[in-house]
Amino acid sequence: MNLEIINVNINKKINKSSYPIFVGNNLLIQAGELLKKYINNKKLIVIHDNFFSINKSTNSHFDLFIQSIKKEATSVNLIAISGGDKTKTMSQLTNILESVLSFDIDRDTLLIAFGGGVVGDIAGFASSILLRGIDFIQIPTTLLSQVDSSVGGKTGVNGSLGKNLIGTFHQPLAVIADTSILKTLPRRELRAGFAEVIKYGLIKDKNFFIWLEHNFEKILNLNDISLNKVIITSCSIKSDIIQDDEKEIGKRALLNLGHTFGHAIESIGNYDKKIIHGEAVAIGICMAFSFSKKLGFCLESEVERVKALFKKSGLPTAIKDMPNLLFSSDEMFDKFKYDKKIRNNKLTFILNNKIGESFIKKDVNTEIIKNFLTEEI
């Protein structure tokens, strides 16, 4: 077990909103020890992706985790849910709430989210509203959730009009990112998570982006040393950005590079397997760089360099790369009105001057946006 710890300090204070991210391989078997001070003989409710109940190649990781935390808990109850954005709904949230309440919980009960980003988002949301708020811990099991969604306290579900429109900010007590469980991921899911990794280099660390250009094959082949660096660097960048902007009033919006376009694509696709989140983000980032070039902020060579890394990693770079997705530029523009970065009815985009330098652009001319979408679609 090689273990590294990143400390997330919200508002730069050591308080209840500060927490550790444990990063390494084969950590789940040590989970009880790592989380001992948080479990502390409490009643635990583990909300997990049912993938770990029915898939023999993955349930050993889950079983070892459960055996480990049982040693420190008064009791452990399990709730299996379906993963995937299609099930990230108010209906599933209600079912989870009723199931948790059936275990006679109190405010000392601890929820644990064991799964990918959807499980973490919906379990975190549940914990934030149960009994007006109970604690939870994140055990992310996908690359995407380990480098992004498990850290930062965003929780929620999708609404009928768009992605993540209903939710809260609720920080976990701790996060365990065990790289060994990534070996259970389908290749498509692994590549999708890598899109969020690339995002961090593009936002504020060109040297990290250059390293990714040279090491993407090692990462996608699950080299332990490379995976550790990816998770530690990504989470450190995110922690640095959110530490004094927990609720996305300012610079935290930079973490949404590519997501204005990407969320619109997902929503139009109705959250089915035609396109998954990381693929939509990859396309969205490429569109954001192309839009930056159109507005005169970055060079064509930068756009092509970004697209090249996504292509080499097996990710889409344009909507035309996903032939099962058919929609008009007007449909996509209509989805922008539900973007959470909108202020005073004005669209906000995350754009780039160059690789490693993102910025927030407010009040972009509507006609320019529409013309750009027509060119892209």
Give dist(CA 264, CA 284) in Å, integer.
Answer: 9
DSSP 21-32: EEEESS-GGGHH
Question: Measuring CA to CA, which residue among 174, 197, 162, 184 is closest to residue 116?
Answer: 184
CB 122 within 8 A of CB 60: no
Task: Name beta bridge partners: 115.
Answer: 140
CB 70 within 8 A of CB 28: no
By three-state DSSP, how is residue 270 classified?
coil
Give dist(CA 9, CA 106) in Å, integer.
Answer: 27
Question: Measuring CA to CA, which residue among 64, 173, 60 is closest to residue 109?
Answer: 173
Would you state the structure tokens that stand for residue 8, as one six-digit string? 């997330």
CB 213 within 8 A of CB 201: no
By three-state DSSP, how is residue 69 classified?
helix
Host H or E run for residue 157: strand 154-159
Give the residue numbers marked as catalytic: 132, 154, 196, 238, 248, 252, 256, 259, 263, 277
Enumerate the H helices of the chain as residue ranges: 31-34, 36-39, 51-54, 56-70, 90-101, 117-129, 143-144, 187-204, 206-220, 224-242, 259-268, 277-294, 300-312, 329-336, 366-376
CB 48 within 8 A of CB 119: yes
